[in-house]
Amino acid sequence: MAEGAREALGAAVAQLRAAGVEDPPGDARRLLAHALGVGPERLITDMPETLSAAEAARFAAAIAARAQRRPVAQIIGARLFWGRRFRVTPDVLDPRPETETLVAEALAAPFGSVLDLGTGSGAIVLSLLAERPGARGVGADLSAPALQVAAANARALGLADRVAFVRSDWFGAVAGRFDLIVANPPYLAEAELAGLAPELAHEPRAALSPGGDGLGAYRRIAAGAGAHLRPGGRIMLEIGPTQGQAVAALLRGEGFGGVRILPDLDGRDRVVAAVWQGQG
């Protein structure tokens, strides 16, 4: 017997609510749209009265995965970020809306070249290049599977001819100097890991925490950035909401000036920005 779409949606909402999911109605609608092959914004107008057997099976599998707290972006295989669709897999961090704070700040001044450290899905560097047609970029990551995801996103967005991806432990395999360096490094302290949302267990641990006090990646980036920035070049680092002053101090200690701590839309410290004052 064919299953009614609205009845299936209602049952899915109840299943997700029982599993402790934060937004059961929103997630159920997005996953139903995915099962139907339509955009979430078209679900109201394009929802059929009944689901085919294949649609019902896809929806049930997606809801079961979400009830196990797998992130919606991983189930769907994509995430919208800065107005564009990015492929997402368990090998990369799910691009988050807060990171758009960094993109907006980076676009506030001109640049011809950009280095994205720990590029993951490539969402940051590719968003920047898409907005600056004359610019070129490099995305560096230690994870070979992540670099494959980033390269696929570059091809899908028509940006593969303006970006290079390199396997690198931060600056280890990076050559040259850039107008702009951006990074969303792992910043959770070891002590914070036990309290993470269950969804984060499905994301690469190395992209979430460097261990220790959570500042290890910032120390390495701050120490190496000057050798890879042109005079007057900018650096922008996403941070955890309690790390602003510590990361700002690291950058000042390495010769950066104009250090600013920028909030996200929720008013939490989210990005530290600075200017390289050393020589090229």
Please tell me whether residues 37 and 120 are part of one structural domain: no
Please tell me whether residues 265 and 134 are part of one structural domain: yes
Which residues of the chain carry a pLDDT beneath 70? 1-2, 280
Please tell me whether residues 44 and 97 are part of one structural domain: no
CA distances (Å), origin 28, targets 5, 23, 61, 87, 157: 12, 8, 12, 20, 28
Question: Of 17, 37, 68, which marks where a domain is finished?
Answer: 68
How many domains does the chain fold into? Answer: 2
Q: Please say whether the beta carbons of 120 and 93 come within 8 A.
A: yes
Residue 204: count of CB within 10 angstroms of its CB:
17
Q: What is the pTM of this model?
A: 0.92
| Confidence (pLDDT) at 2 | 57
Please tell me whether residues 29 and 95 are part of one structural domain: no
Please tell me whether residues 105 and 18 are part of one structural domain: no
Please tell me whether residues 246 and 196 are part of one structural domain: yes
| Confidence (pLDDT) at 202 | 85
> What is the extent of the structural domain holding 14?
3-68
Please tell me whether residues 122 and 217 are part of one structural domain: yes
| Confidence (pLDDT) at 209 | 73
Please tell me whether residues 54 and 124 are part of one structural domain: no
The CB-side HSE value for 10 (13 A sphere, CA atoms) comes to: 5
Strand spans (E) along the chain: 3-4, 50-51, 78-81, 84-87, 113-117, 136-141, 163-167, 178-183, 229-238, 256-263, 269-276
Residue 34: count of CB within 10 angstroms of its CB:
20
